[in-house]
Structure 1
Amino acid sequence: MTRNNKIVLALMLIFGTAIFAFSVRNVSFESLIGDITKLKWQWLLLAVASMMFSFFLEALVVRVLLKREGSLFPMRDAVRIPLIEQLFNGITPFSSGGQPAQLFALLQSGVDAGRATSVLLMKFIVYQSMVVINFVVSLVIGFEYVSDKIHALSLLFVFGFIVHFIVIVSLLLIMYWYNFTKKVVKFFFKPLKFFFKEARYLKWEHIVDEKIDNFYRESLRLKRSWKLLVKISLLTLAQLFFYYIIPFFILLALGVTNVNFLMVTTMHVLIVMIISLFPIPGGSGGAEYSFSIIFTSFISNASKLVLAMLLWRLITYYLGMFMGMIALVLKPKKIQNDENKKNKV
């Protein structure tokens, strides 16, 4: 980690502590301690297990994609990838640091840059598609419920839908209308000439062109490998499922039993979409606020609501970051490629 990353990490931990302190300002300390002592730990352990299994399934996606590329990747090192991604997603705005960090981790393991980039692009395409599918389904199921009870957040859901819809449409345009997409991008890029120096403009244009070209090549490979596409799509759906059901287990741990599994899971999907709209690393502030506003419908007790929010953030945000710090210092084993094995025989 760079010095700046360490500073941001420290600031996020301080900021998170401040948010929790602010959240409990009107809650009786005795009530909070009482709720903690009454926790049903078996359900809380299931929530943690769900998060861990979500990491495992993401690691499995990486391993499957690398195997397809001809690399024998140890599961121990595959698990490092989502954990390091969690760490850098958690300390960068809009989770922008996750992709470069995963690339660095793969290069550490001996995967060549081209192969690593290919794997991460395919992983990103499938992940983004599955997220949008989940979001659209959840929006259909839960939008009326939210718009009736929490009108302000319903506007954020609509905005979130528009943002993710634009992303998926952009991906489809590159996949199926490559030449048209490049022309459109160049058209919208031209006005930048009037605001920036030519050298910087040309540099940005080159970077965007390169990213579009790389994405197009990987999309062609995915379309040809439909069995692989189905396999990693199902793994990604399972990964997201285990992540999305965590609040349900937290509610059960708090003794809240009269809740609808589908509705709680749906609300969590929508909360995750809201978090992605906040530029602050980890959506801090917005994440806690959204959770408190939405889950007040399921938890009427103030201290239990604060505790639920605290447990949720610890499991879904801080756990991954802390494990990512451990994964970052662990040295991976250098992988063996199939071609190298043949040469040794």
Structure 2
Amino acid sequence: MTRKNWLVLAIMLLIGGGIIAYSLRTVNIHLLVRDFFTLNWWWMLVALVCICLYLILEGVVVKIFMKNRYPAFTWKDAMRLPPIEQLFNGITPFSTGGQPAQLVGMLQCGVDGGVASSVLLMKFVVFQAMIVINFLISLVIGFHFIAEKLHALSLLVLLGFMIHLAVIVGLLLVMYWYGFTKRAMNLLIKPCAWFMKPGRYERMRILLNEKVDSFYKESLRMKGEYGKMARVCVVTLLQLFFYYMIPYFIMLALGVHGMNFIMVVSLHVLIFMIISLFPIPGGAGGAEYSFSVLFASFIGSGSKLVLAMILWRLLTYYFGMFAGMVALVVKPDKIKHDVEGE
């Protein structure tokens, strides 16, 4: 990590601490402490296992993609990448730092840059597609609830969905209408030249064209690997499902019962969509507010609601970042280039 990254991490920890302190302003601290010490730690352990499985299954996806390309790519290196992604997603606006950080991690293992970029691109495509599928289901189940509770923020949920859907549609156009999509992209980015220096615009244009070419080549490979893609989709759906279940087990740990499991999971899907739209790293502020408002209907006690929000944030945001800091100091296994194959 660079000095700038460490600085951003420190700032995010301070912002997180500030948000928690602000949330505690109307809470009886004695009640919160009592709620903490009366937690059912077995349910908290289940919630912890869920976030661990979320990270582990992403490593499984990496391993599946790398199996034919680099058979010597180890499980240790596959499991090292998801925490690194979580760390850099957590300290960059709109979670933009995770992909480049994973690329660096794969290069450290001796993976060819083109292969690494292709694998990460396909992983991204599948992840986005599964998010859209989950969201469509959750929209049917829980949107009326979020519209009632969050009012204007419900529009952000729809906007988030449209952005994710647009990404998927754009990628599908590259796969099945390559020539047209490439021409359309170059036409759409032309107005950027009005606001950018010529050299910078040209570098951006070349980079975007390279990305489109890389994805198209990888999509040709993907079309002949239906079995692999099906396995990756199933694993990714399981990965997201474990993540979405975390609030349910946190509330069970707090002694909250009588909840509708499907509704809780669906609301967490919608919160995930809201977080992705906030420019502040980790969706700080928006994440806590959305959680508190939506799950207040399930948790009657104000102290339990704040405690649930804190525990949820610790597991879904800070746990991944601290795991990423550990992963950074783990030495990657170096592989030889001559083992690459199909």
Q: How does 1:119-158 map to 2 (within 5 A)?
A: 119-158=119-158
Residue 71 of structure 2 contacts residue 340 of structure 2 at CA under 8 Å; is this kept in 1? no
Residue 275 of structure 2 contacts residue 283 of structure 2 at CA under 8 Å; is this kept in 1? yes
Q: How does 1:168-179 map to 2 (within 5 A)?
A: 168-179=168-179
**TM-score when scaled to structure 2?**
0.97
**TM-score when scaled to structure 1?**
0.96
Aligned to 1:93: 93
| 1:267-289 Cα distance to aligned partner (Å, 9 max, x none) | 00000000000010111111101
Aligned to 1:117: 117
Aligned to 1:194: 194
CA distance in 1, matches of 2:203, 2:337: 34
1:213 aligns with 2:178: no
CA distance in 2, matches of 1:295, 1:269: 13
Aligned to 1:286: 286
- What's the CA shift for 1:338? 6.7
- What's the CA shift for 1:257? 0.9
Identity of aligned residues (%): 56
Aligned to 2:25: 25
Amino acid at match of 2:202: L
Residue 44 of structure 1 contacts residue 249 of structure 1 at CA under 8 Å; is this kept in 2? yes
| 1:280-331 Cα distance to aligned partner (Å, 9 max, x none) | 0111111101111111111121000000000000001000100110110111
Aligned to 1:309: 309
1:326 aligns with 2:326: yes
Aligned to 2:167: 167
Give the stretch that moved more between structures: 152-161 or 303-312.
152-161
Residue 72 of structure 1 contacts residue 337 of structure 1 at CA under 8 Å; is this kept in 2? no
Runs of 4+ residues over 4 Å off in structure 1? none
Give the stretch that moved more between structures: 185-194 or 10-19.
185-194
CA distance in 1, matches of 2:216, 2:15: 40
- What's the CA shift for 1:115? 1.7
| 1:59-94 Cα distance to aligned partner (Å, 9 max, x none) | 011111111213322222211100100100000001
| 1:115-169 Cα distance to aligned partner (Å, 9 max, x none) | 2112111111111111111111111111122223332222111111211121111
Residue 48 of structure 1 contacts residue 315 of structure 1 at CA under 8 Å; is this kept in 2? yes
Aligned to 1:298: 298
Aligned to 1:181: 181
CA distance in 1, matches of 2:338, 2:225: 19
Query: CA, structure 1 residues 190+337, in 2 after alignment: closer, same or farther (shift >3 Å)?
Result: closer
Aligned to 1:84: 84
Amino acid at match of 2:45: L
CA distance in 2, matches of 1:62, 1:181: 28
Residue 72 of structure 2 contacts residue 339 of structure 2 at CA under 8 Å; is this kept in 1? no
Give the stretch that moved more between structures: 313-322 or 105-114.
105-114
Structure 2 gaps of 5+ residues are none
Structure 1 gaps of 5+ residues are none
SS in 1 for 2:125: helix
Residue 89 of structure 2 contacts residue 95 of structure 2 at CA under 8 Å; is this kept in 1? yes
CA distance in 2, matches of 1:63, 1:11: 34
1:16 aligns with 2:16: yes
Aligned to 1:275: 275
- What's the CA shift for 1:201? 1.9
Residue 71 of structure 1 contacts residue 338 of structure 1 at CA under 8 Å; is this kept in 2? no
Q: CA RMSD in A?
A: 1.4
Amino acid at match of 1:49: V
- What's the CA shift for 1:46? 0.3
Aligned to 1:40: 40
CA distance in 2, matches of 1:198, 1:107: 30
Amino acid at match of 1:63: K
Give the stretch that moved more between structures: 161-170 or 34-43.
161-170
CA distance in 1, matches of 2:18, 2:194: 43
Amino acid at match of 1:176: Y
Residue 71 of structure 1 contacts residue 337 of structure 1 at CA under 8 Å; is this kept in 2? no
CA distance in 2, matches of 1:77, 1:189: 37
Give the stretch that moved more between structures: 188-197 or 42-51.
188-197
| 1:184-225 Cα distance to aligned partner (Å, 9 max, x none) | 112212222333332222221111111111111111211111
Q: How does 1:252-267 map to 2 (within 5 A)?
A: 252-267=252-267
Aligned to 2:6: 6
Amino acid at match of 2:61: V
SS in 2 for 1:212: helix
